[in-house]
Chains A and B, each alone.
Chain A
Amino acid sequence: MTTLAVIDWQSLITRDMIIPALRVALLLGIGLPAVIITAALVGRATAKRLSAQSAMLARKAVLYFGIIVIFVAVFQQTGYKLTALIGAAGIAGIAIGFASQTSLSNIISGIFLISEKPFQVGDIIKVGETKGTILSIDLLSVKLRTFDNQFVRMPNETLIKEKVTNITRFPIRRVDLNIGVAYKEDPKKVRDVLLDIADKNSNCLDEPEPLFRFVNFGDSALEFLFAVWCVKSDYLKLSTEMMLEIKERFDAEGIEIPFPHRTLYTGSATGPLPIRLVDSQDKQISKSESSQL
């Protein structure tokens, strides 16, 4: 206690120390908020002219560059030699690089993704089993929001390696409907009914024209592909509407949608399979017979 009391603080804090300290305080107190505000302004200004992804990149570039400049200036004010720091950072960088190969791979993949632009913020993509809307494309990962409102972080490396489907890249989409009708139905009538349904639905685009294709003589049904086009935002609505309208019209027109069924026969050598109708009395008899056996 006595030792502290005798320390001459005024002799320790010299004028040479106060001025750099004030400069550091100014740099951190004014410079950092200024950089954050500038980055936000750049983000806002570029949002109108560039895509959401490019605006985000511009904002982050300004922010990170500004922060680096301020910290370099702070180090200079505090008397640290930057050459030594950079040298140390280089050695540390090699060490960290070996230790974080995955992260570096993600960063490089991220740079490729940003330059190649296979998708942008707001697009709906499908990667493997995951489907969702892109929230952000960052240096290490892409963030998605799935349709059941889950957050998915997908490493950039995965996106470079895997097949990525951008569902909303183009403005229109095709709704494919696989339809089966009973063998007794007239395929031409089915085609006319389907085309009429598409014609009457205002969300179904007249052009490109709907596609009707006789796909196969299936096990239980004549199988068709009926494909109609819509604006990408109407995809779910149109696919549901078409299914409902097809069922309704097929019922009205008497067109049977068959369920899978199987016909058993014993071949031409024998007659039809013998069938014996069994009533409840017979059942009791047969039970008693079987019990005696």
Chain B
Amino acid sequence: MHPELYNQHKVEPEQYLSAQIGPLELWIRHTGDEFHVAVKRNAHSENVIETSHPEPVKDTPDACLSWSRWVVGQNFDTMQLLPVMPDRPVVVRPATPVSIPTGNEALFFVAVPIWVDISVFGPAKVTLLQAPSVVLSDTWFGDPMTGELCYSMRTRARRKVSDSPVRPHRVLCPVLIRNTTTEQLDVERFCVHIQNLTVYAGQSRLWTNEVRISFRGENETSQVKYVESAPEYEHIDRLLSNPRAPQKKTLLQRSFSTFRLFGGEGE
């Protein structure tokens, strides 16, 4: 991980700054009392791992960039990028279904694409934009009347940190699933409320605090515990961003769904 990527950076008037976090490229311009931001997402190169901290660019950026403007006022001359969790829960679907027998537990490392928060500082902090590094597909979790809108993620549900490739735009989320029922748990999909998670900067990658989900039966709410401390799978340098939606330490949430929508044209 680039050491200066998430530090504060000075933006001189009429200066273009450029930064890259994997497939996400950003341009920031400070002019008068305005900040301009352009975002370019390389949709077909999710494996891009180049990273560069915000630094001045000499050439005028590509004319085809789509810019947004913010009038923030005078005396704003510093900006900062921060990784934040996506704004909705994710439904994680392992590429190969995993089964957890009665009384067992399994730890998975889910690599979630971050959103990048772009803020400027002056007399106060002003958040300009939060841009997803990868646009995830929408999905519905639960039944069509009372479920919730989530992002969909197909994952290999890796069990070891070393198996998970280091990518600058992904944050590794440890999810421990415990089967407390008397039946085998077939994990085809599970929902993680990632808005409740904190983002930490580790030595080599980004981390979230651990989520522990206790499966209590089909169509039952699961007991979900958000471990409050930083994960212990790597040395953690610092906390980067707080949860979007702080929650209680332990709560009951629907995390597994076996709902299937039957029917065709009119059935």
Q: Are A206 and B152 in contact (CB under 8 A)?
A: yes
* Assembled-state Cα–Cα distance A260/B261 (Å): 35
Q: Are B144 and A204 in contact (CB under 8 A)?
A: no
List B contacts of A211 (CB < 8 A).
264
Q: Are B145 and A170 in contact (CB under 8 A)?
A: yes
List B contacts of A209 (CB < 8 A).
261
A252: min CB distance to chain B, Å? 16
A271 contacts the other chain (CB 8 A): no
Known: A170-B144, A170-B145, A231-B149. A207 touches B139 (CB 8 A): yes
Known: A202-B135, A206-B137, A206-B152. A213 touches B147 (CB 8 A): no
Q: Are A172 and B135 in contact (CB under 8 A)?
A: no
Interface residues of A in 167-203 (CB under 8 A from B): 170-172, 176, 199, 201-203
Within 8 Å by CB of B264, from A203, A204, A213, A229, lies: A213
Q: Are A203 and B138 in contact (CB under 8 A)?
A: yes
* Assembled-state Cα–Cα distance A202/B152 (Å): 9
Q: Are B144 and A172 in contact (CB under 8 A)?
A: yes
Within 8 Å by CB of A229, from B93, B135, B140, lies: B140
B136 contacts the other chain (CB 8 A): yes
Q: Are B137 and A204 in contact (CB under 8 A)?
A: yes
Q: Are B145 and A205 in contact (CB under 8 A)?
A: no
Q: Are A171 and B147 in contact (CB under 8 A)?
A: yes
A225 contacts the other chain (CB 8 A): yes
A208 contacts the other chain (CB 8 A): yes
List A contacts of B139 (CB < 8 A).
205-207
Q: Are A205 and B264 in contact (CB under 8 A)?
A: no
* Assembled-state Cα–Cα distance A55/B261 (Å): 35
B86: min CB distance to chain A, Å? 12
* Assembled-state Cα–Cα distance A211/B262 (Å): 10
List A contacts of B265 (CB < 8 A).
176, 213, 215, 225, 227
Q: Are A207 and B136 in contact (CB under 8 A)?
A: no
Q: Are A202 and B144 in contact (CB under 8 A)?
A: no
Q: Are B144 and A171 in contact (CB under 8 A)?
A: yes
B43: min CB distance to chain A, Å? 9
Interface residues of A in 196-250 (CB under 8 A from B): 199, 201-209, 211, 213, 215, 225, 227, 229-231
B5 contacts the other chain (CB 8 A): no
Closest partner residue, chain A, to B262 (CB atom):
A208
* Assembled-state Cα–Cα distance A201/B136 (Å): 10
Q: Are B138 and A204 in contact (CB under 8 A)?
A: yes
* Assembled-state Cα–Cα distance A176/B263 (Å): 13
Closest partner residue, chain B, to A211 (CB atom):
B264
Q: Are A205 and B147 in contact (CB under 8 A)?
A: no
B141 contacts the other chain (CB 8 A): yes
List B contacts of A172 (CB < 8 A).
140, 144, 147
Interface residues of B in 118-176 (CB under 8 A from A): 135-141, 144-145, 147, 149, 152
* Assembled-state Cα–Cα distance A208/B137 (Å): 13
Closest partner residue, chain B, to A225 (CB atom):
B265
Closest partner residue, chain B, to A207 (CB atom):
B139
Q: Are B138 and A208 in contact (CB under 8 A)?
A: no
B93: min CB distance to chain A, Å? 8
Q: Are A207 and B264 in contact (CB under 8 A)?
A: no
B85 contacts the other chain (CB 8 A): no
* Assembled-state Cα–Cα distance A6/B91 (Å): 94
B241: min CB distance to chain A, Å? 24
Within 8 Å by CB of A206, from B138, B144, B145, lies: B138
* Assembled-state Cα–Cα distance A293/B139 (Å): 75
Residue interface mask A249-281, B partner, CB < 8 A = 1? 000000000000000000000000000000000
Q: Are A208 and B135 in contact (CB under 8 A)?
A: no
List A contacts of B91 (CB < 8 A).
206-207
A236: min CB distance to chain B, Å? 16
* Assembled-state Cα–Cα distance A208/B262 (Å): 9
List B contacts of A176 (CB < 8 A).
265
List B contacts of A231 (CB < 8 A).
138, 149
* Assembled-state Cα–Cα distance A170/B140 (Å): 12
* Assembled-state Cα–Cα distance A289/B147 (Å): 78
B26: min CB distance to chain A, Å? 20
List B contacts of A202 (CB < 8 A).
135-138
Within 8 Å by CB of A205, from B93, B135, B138, B189, lies: B138
Q: What would 18 A/B residue contacts be, using CB atoms closer than 8 Å? A: A170-B144, A199-B137, A201-B137, A202-B138, A203-B138, A204-B137, A205-B152, A206-B91, A206-B93, A206-B138, A207-B141, A207-B152, A211-B264, A213-B264, A227-B265, A230-B138, A231-B138, A231-B149
User: A205-B139, A206-B152, A207-B91 known; 15 other A-B pairs, CB under 8 Å?
Assistant: A171-B145, A172-B140, A199-B137, A201-B137, A202-B138, A204-B137, A205-B137, A206-B91, A206-B93, A206-B138, A207-B141, A207-B189, A211-B264, A227-B265, A229-B140
Which B residues are within 8 Å of any A CB, using their own CB? 91, 93, 135-141, 144-145, 147, 149, 152, 189, 261, 264-265
9 pairs of A and B residues whose beta carbons are closest in the complex: A206-B152, A206-B139, A208-B261, A207-B139, A202-B137, A202-B135, A205-B140, A205-B138, A205-B139
